[in-house]
Structure 1
């Protein structure tokens, strides 16, 4: 799933590639992708795109007084084309969900792999009209989001810290992958209770959150959209690396599986050497 660093890189890419260009045509290839119907998608045609903005994991492009907003969900992506096919796209079972053609040639596709179609597109007068944006918590890279603000958020949370970091209404933009990375860098168990963290642990977590995200954004700076997925994967130290050695201590990275996701962690670095219970795996072994 694209998270804050990748969406920020896409925003930066679109600033250079899309700003000032005129939308010639927009096709909703997969009808399910459109979550709003008034204004219609066709209202963007003939309008000039302005600088893109990021809201957590949402991308918003202003066009002629409106905003084209998208959330790429788990398996969505934006693919830029300097040249588009001459024939308009046809609805089908492929990954193409929406195509935008630009005057003068080129444009971009929104695609989504897999069978669970969660990619979402909105056409609104104000990005705050999108329910997911309206619910967002503070952006962790906002200059006003300091250590004190972070500690105040954690103080009222009785949940495990992994879930708190992923909750978009608490902190915007962090998902499954970077929450694993942040907790590994902070040397904290994903099962630790957020409100139970002491001042030193909170300091470590705050520093890890800032460092992990800012380094990921820096690595993605200037990359074309097509290279961002590979960059994200190459920069991850524990997420998606079950069975590999921890790059810090050499212990084996372990996994806890859930119904539709999993987390990865290092026992030595994060849980005092104790493996976390994986109830899903335990059920399979019975």
Structure 2
């Protein structure tokens, strides 16, 4: 799943490639992806891109006041095929839509077992339902400890689930929630209500440092290589059975995630417990 650092890198790439360029044609390969049925994709033909903005894990493309909302879901992504290349979707990824410019074609793809990409043609970014309900952006350098403490509140919700709750904190998904909690030395099963002031401070530092480093690291990486770069950077996520990079423990699957999340039980503890 692309998360804030990868989507931010994609938004930067699209700004450089598309701003000032006119859409010359569109092809909607998978009609189910377009959620605004009364506003066809070809409404953007003949319009010029004026801005590209990231909202959490979504991208908004402003075309002279008509907005194309791109939601990538679990397995969506984008390709850019310049006139001098023959590139297309990654192996195993289905092309959902193509948007043509004189200088190349923007492809929207989905590599999942079920369709997760969503396209919206709207008059404003926040007319996309998923964008309208987003909380503060997790990768925003201005996201403060106080804002995190308020979001956590006294909620009896596990930290991993809470970090992925887009209405609370936008931009974090499965992988970075694991990485943030590992850096904070907090159990993914811990409840927000159980955190001490020191725990909240540690979690805020881990959130800020992990996402800031990832945003910087993804910048300039070709969009076709973003997934591989993300996977290679993970310290615990996807590392089941490997040694913990910071202690003598072994990385394990988080109970209840069916292998979808990982942690180090030796150094990630429940609040009040001592590391093993």
Normalising by structure 2, what TM-score? 0.92
Question: Which residue pairs with 1:59 in the alignment?
Answer: 59
Question: Which residue pairs with 1:279 in the alignment?
Answer: none
Residues 74, 118 of structure 1: 8 Å contact kept: yes
User: Separation in 1 of the partners of 2:45 and 2:52?
Assistant: 17
Cα distance, 1:115 vs. partner?
2.4
User: Separation in 2 of the partners of 1:143 and 1:113?
Assistant: 31
Residues 13-44 of structure 1: CA distance to partner in whole angstroms, max 9, x if unpaired?
A: 11111111110111110011101123321110
CA RMSD of aligned residues (A): 2.0
Residues 57, 173 of structure 1: 8 Å contact kept: yes
Cα distance, 1:224 vs. partner?
1.6
Question: Which residue pairs with 2:157 in the alignment?
Answer: 159
User: Separation in 2 of the partners of 1:226 and 1:28?
Assistant: 21
**Long gaps (5+) in structure 1:** 275-286
Cα distance, 1:113 vs. partner?
1.4
Give runs of aligned pairs for residues 244-255 of structure 1, distance below 5 A: 244-255=242-253
* SS of 1:205 mapped into structure 2: helix
Residues 219-276 of structure 1: CA distance to partner in whole angstroms, max 9, x if unpaired?
A: 01112211111110111100011011111113110003647762100011103568xx
Residues 84, 101 of structure 1: 8 Å contact kept: no
Whether 2:70 is the aligned partner of 1:70: answer yes
Question: Which sits farther off after the overlay, 124-133 or 138-147?
Answer: 138-147
Question: Which residue pairs with 1:206 in the alignment?
Answer: 204
Question: Which residue pairs with 1:278 in the alignment?
Answer: none
Task: Give the ranges of 4+ consecutive aligned residues of structure 1 lying more than 4 Å apart after TM superposition.
Answer: 257-261
User: Separation in 2 of the partners of 1:34 and 1:57?
Assistant: 17
**Long gaps (5+) in structure 2:** none
Question: Which residue pairs with 2:18 in the alignment?
Answer: 18
Count of residues in Structure 1 that have an aligned counterpart in Structure 2: 268
Question: Which residue pairs with 2:195 in the alignment?
Answer: 197
Normalising by structure 1, what TM-score? 0.89
Question: Which residue pairs with 1:28 in the alignment?
Answer: 28
